[in-house]
Structure 1
Amino acid sequence: MNDRPPGLTARGFPHAPPTRYSRTQQQVKPSGTDTPAPHTAPGLGDPGRRRHSAPESSTRSTRTHFTTRGNRSPPKPTKGATLMTYATNLSTTDNNGKIMLDPEQVHDILVRPFLAQSIASQVTTPVTIDGHTNKVRFPILVSDPQVGWTAEGEEIAQGTPKFDQITVTPTKVAGLVIQSNELVNDSNPNALNQVGQGLVRQITNSVDAAFFGPTLAEPAAPGLEAATTAKVTATAATTFDWAEEAIGLAAGRGYTINHFVANPADAVTMALVKESTTSSRGLLQADPAQPSVKTIGGVPLLTSPHVKAGTVWALPTMAANLVIRQDANVVADTSAFFTSDRTAIRATMRVGFGIVAPDAIVKITLAGA
C-alpha cells in the first residue's frame, strides 16, 4: 500500500515541474521507461536552473552581435582612442565580413573629435536629431507680438507674433580609408592613429568647406555664402573699425557677435597691425581665458582655410544651427578587398546648416580684397 502523500517522490521530495530543455541541455530517457531523468550536478542539467532558461526558437536568428574574443561586449574606447585603432581591435565580424560600432562608440571616436576640430561647430549651435528623422524645422520670429500701455481694469489688446520657418535636411558626408591588413595588424599604432585622424579630418574639412566656402553642388549643405547676410566693407587695413561696425549691426538685430572667423593669411596680417607707428604692441589682444586665442574688441578671432582670403565672418552663435543626425556610423569591411588582403574603413555622418538669423551674420570685406 502506498501511504505517501500525493505529489511526493519515494524519498519525500516534491516532483519537479515540467521543464523545457534547450537542445544542449536535453536529457535522454532510458528506453522503455517513463522515469524522469536523474538529477545532475548544478549547471549541468539542474531543473531549478533549467526552468529559467528560455525555450529554443524553432528558427535560428541570422542577426550577428559584434563582440570581441570570448563573446564579451566590445570595450569602451579609452581616452585618446582613435577611429582606426578602435575599429581594428574588433575581431568578430558578421557573415559579410563587416565590423560595426554601436552609437556610443561612434560618438566617442567620430562625432566628438569632429565637434572639437570643426570651426563650423564652434561658431554655431549644434543640434542633434533622431536617426529616423529626415528633416528638422526651425521657427523664425518675423515680428514680435504687439504690446502697449493699458489702464487698470481694461482689456489687454491681443498681440499675435508672426513666424516663418526653415527646413533643414541633413545630407551625407563620408570618408573611406583602405589599408593593407599588414598595416592594420602589424604596424606601429601611431601609423594607424594617423590614418584614423585623417578620416575624421576629411569629414571635418568637408563640413567646414561647405559652411564657409563657396556654395557647393548638391547634396552638399548650403552654407553662409548662400544666405542673405549683412555686409560691411573695411576702408583701411590698419584699423579694426570694421569689427566694431559688425558688432553694432548684430546688436541692432538683437544678437551678440561671439566669433570672428578669417583666413589664416588675413589673421597673420591683422596680428602685425600695431597700435601706432611708434609702438610694438599689436592691436590683436590675447584672450585672458585662452592665451592662444586672439581677440578683436573682446571677440575671439578664429581661422579657417575655407574662408575666402579678404573675407571675415562675424557670427552670433545663436544665428545658425549645425544639425547632426544620430545615425553616424563607422564600418570596417574585409570582404570588399578580400582578394588583395586589404581592409576598408568607412565613416559617414549626415549634416545640415540651419541659418535662422542671416541678417545678424555679417560678412566683412577687408580693404584691398
Structure 2
Amino acid sequence: MSMFTTDAGTRSILPPEYGELVTKPVEALSVAYLTGEKVTTNANKYIVPILVSDVTAGAVAEGAEITPSDADFDELEIIPAKFAALTIVSRELADDSNPSAADQIGKSIARQIANRVDNALFNSLGGVNPDGFADLTGISTVSAPAAYANLDPFEEAVSKSEAAGGRITHWVTGAATALEIAKLKDTSGSNRGLLNPDLAVEGRRTILGRPVVVSPYVPADVVYGISKEDFLVVTREDTRLDVDHSAYFSSDRVGVRGTMRVAFAMPVPAAHVRIINAAA
C-alpha cells in the first residue's frame, strides 16, 4: 500500500520548464543581456575563435598563379560561472496551483541573480566570479575632466572603438554620473540640455545617438562604452529552478533554489572603452 498519494489537479514548481522563470526575467533585468549578444551552450566550456590575421590578397596578372595563404586564428576559452539564489517559502505556497505564485518566486530569484551578474560585469570580484569589463586587458581608455564640460570624451571613445573595429552601441554608468552629464547645456546661459533625447521612448537619454544605461554596479565617475557585437554573454542551457521539501521538514517549509551559469566574452577588448573621470 502506498504511503503517499498524488492529486493530478495540483501543480508545484518542480517541472524543469520552470527554469524559464529564472532565465527570462534575468535577461530582461540584467544590463549584461541588454548591452551584449546572448549565446547559449550546453558544454562546460565555450570557445570563441579570434581572427588574428587575414588571408593575403592582392592584384594578380590575368592567368597568373594566386599565392595561397592562411588566416591565423586564436581562441578564447570561456567557462560559465554558476550564479545561484535560495529562498525559503511555505509548503502551501510552493504547491499553489496558481501560476502567479511560481512566477513571483522565480522573479525574486531572477532579480538576485541579475544583480550578481551585473556586479561581476563591472567590478573585479575574483574567486569564482567571471571576469568582466573591470578585468579586461586591452580595453580602450579615455580620460575625462573632473567636471564634464562637453561631449568630447565620448567622441574620443567612439573614435577609439572604431579604430579597433568596434561600434559603441550603449553607454553604461552610475546614476550620479548620468545625472551630471544630463545637466550639460548646449550653450552658456541656456536651459536646453546638450544630450539628445530619444523621443520614441519617454525619459530615454542618448549621447551621440547611443542610449545611456544606468547601473548601480558601475564604479563612481566611470562610463563604459560597449560595442554590442563584440560582447558575448555566454549562457548555459541548464538554468534550473529546483524545490526541496526535506531540508526544512520540521517547519513545513520548502527550499526553492535557482541556478544559472553565465560568463562574458570580449574577443576584441579595444572595441570597448572605459571613460574615467579625473575625480575617480
Fold match (TM-score > 0.5): yes
Distance in 1 separating the partners of 2:217 and 2:170? 16
| Other-structure match for 2:30 | 118
Q: Determine which structure has more spread, i.e. the larger CA radius of gyration.
A: 1
Distance in 1 separating the partners of 2:69 and 2:202? 48
| Other-structure match for 2:41 | 129
2:8 aligned to 56, 66, 70, which one?
Answer: 70
**2:14 alignment partner AA:** M
Distance in 1 separating the partners of 2:103 and 2:252? 20
Q: Which has the higher contact order (CA 8 A, sep 6+)?
A: 2
1:219 aligned to 128, 138, 143, which one?
Answer: 128
> What does 1:84-123 align with in structure 2 at a 5 Å threshold?
90-91=11-12, 100-103=14-17, 105-107=18-20, 109-123=21-35
What secondary structure is seen at the aligned counterpart in 1 of 2:107? Answer: helix
| Other-structure match for 2:162 | 251
* C-alpha RMSD of matched pairs (Å): 2.3
Deviation for aligned residue 1:279: 1.1
1:359 aligned to 245, 263, 270, which one?
Answer: 270
> What does 1:1-369 align with in structure 2 at a 5 Å threshold?
69-70=7-8, 90-91=11-12, 100-103=14-17, 105-107=18-20, 109-130=21-42, 133-181=43-91, 195-213=105-123, 215-228=124-137, 229-235=139-145, 236-369=147-280
118 and 146 in structure 1: CA distance in 2 versus 1, 3 angstrom threshold: same
**1:303 alignment partner AA:** V
Mapped contact 1:101–1:329 kept (Cα < 8 A): no
Mapped contact 1:232–1:246 kept (Cα < 8 A): yes
Mapped contact 2:233–2:264 kept (Cα < 8 A): yes
Mapped contact 1:263–1:309 kept (Cα < 8 A): yes
Distance in 1 separating the partners of 2:228 and 2:255? 37
Deviation for aligned residue 1:318: 1.5
Deviates more, 1:277-286 or 1:240-249: 277-286
Identity percentage of aligned residues: 38
What secondary structure is seen at the aligned counterpart in 1 of 2:178? Answer: helix
What secondary structure is seen at the aligned counterpart in 2 of 1:249? Answer: helix
Distance in 2 separating the partners of 1:345 and 1:123? 29
Mapped contact 2:22–2:107 kept (Cα < 8 A): no
Deviation for aligned residue 1:277: 2.3
**2:26 alignment partner AA:** F
**1:170 alignment partner AA:** P
191 and 327 in structure 1: CA distance in 2 versus 1, 3 angstrom threshold: closer
Q: Deviations over 1:140-189 (max 9, x none)?
A: 11122221111221122223221111100112110000123466579x99
Deviates more, 1:227-236 or 1:308-317: 227-236
Mapped contact 1:328–1:347 kept (Cα < 8 A): yes
Distance in 2 separating the partners of 1:183 and 1:70? 17
351 and 217 in structure 1: CA distance in 2 versus 1, 3 angstrom threshold: same
Deviation for aligned residue 1:70: 2.3
**Which structure carries more strand by proportion?**
2
What secondary structure is seen at the aligned counterpart in 1 of 2:8? Answer: helix
What secondary structure is seen at the aligned counterpart in 2 of 1:219? Answer: coil
Distance in 1 separating the partners of 2:73 and 2:201? 39
Question: What is the total number of aligned residue pairs between the two structures?
Answer: 272
Q: Deviations over 1:104-132 (max 9, x none)?
A: x322x1111111110011111110112xx
Mapped contact 2:90–2:254 kept (Cα < 8 A): yes
289 and 140 in structure 1: CA distance in 2 versus 1, 3 angstrom threshold: farther
Mapped contact 1:237–1:367 kept (Cα < 8 A): no
Deviation for aligned residue 1:193: 6.0
Deviation for aligned residue 1:295: 0.5
Mapped contact 2:22–2:106 kept (Cα < 8 A): no
185 and 136 in structure 1: CA distance in 2 versus 1, 3 angstrom threshold: closer
**1:362 alignment partner AA:** V
